[in-house]
Amino acid sequence: MGRTLLCSLAGTGVGFLVGFAAVYTAFGAQPARDTGPIALFVGIFLAGTGAIAGAIIGGVADLRESFRRKDQAQRETQDRDK
C-alpha cells in the first residue's frame, strides 16, 4: 500500500514537471500571458495521468511482492513438514 502511494506521488510530480516544461519549450517565443495558464492546465492534466500510472505500477509491485511472500511461506511450510 505504501509503494502504491509513493509511486502515485512520484508520478504526479513527474507528470506535472514534464507537462509544464513541454509547454514552455513549445511556446517559448509566444507572449508570456498565454503560456502560464496553458502550462498549468497541461501540467495538471499530466499530473493526473502520472498519478494513475504511478498507482498502477505501485499496486502491481505490491501485488507481486505479496504473492512472492505467500509462495515463500508455503515452501518453508512444506520443507518443515518433510
Q: What global pTM score does this model have?
A: 0.75
Instruction: Please write the tens of the pLDDT for every residue from 6-64.
Output: 889 999 999 999 998 888 888 877 666 778 888 889 999 999 999 999 999 999 999 99
Sort 57 into a burial class: Cβ within 10 Å, 0-12 / 13-18 / 19+: middle
Q: In the numeric block, which cell numbers belong to residue 81?
A: 513438514
